[in-house]
Amino acid sequence: MRRFYLVMMVIGTVVPWVFFGGFFAAEGPDIPLFVTSLFPNGAASGFTADVLLSIAVFLVWSFADAARAGVRRWWLVLPATCLVGLSLSLPLYLYLRETARGGAAPARPAPSGAPA
């Protein structure tokens, strides 16, 4: 699963930044315009609100889970969330969590007739 999370971190960084990069290339580093552009109409505002609420839930849950699961460097999800979004911070946290667990896959039973 760790490889999957790594691949999703790359995809989850590149895809949003294709759009963010296009915006900033056209508009410059205008953060107030960027924020107001997140809410241009009801449909987009709904998606934006959904993602922002999901981010809040994820940050609270992952912080609490990191303490229980012994995840080191949880703080990395904060800049990942702010600089890219949930598409990076979620697979990053899952990668860190899997790494903290040792990343070992559950043992599979040997096929019948095969030596154990």
State pLDDT tens for residues 2-31.
999 999 999 999 999 999 999 999 999 999
CA distance 103 to 71: 12
| Averaged pLDDT for residues 29-35 | 94
H or E stretch including 22?
helix 2-27
pTM for the whole structure: 0.82
- Calculated CA dihedral for residues 61, 66, 72, 73, nearest 10 degrees: 10
CA distance 34 to 51: 16
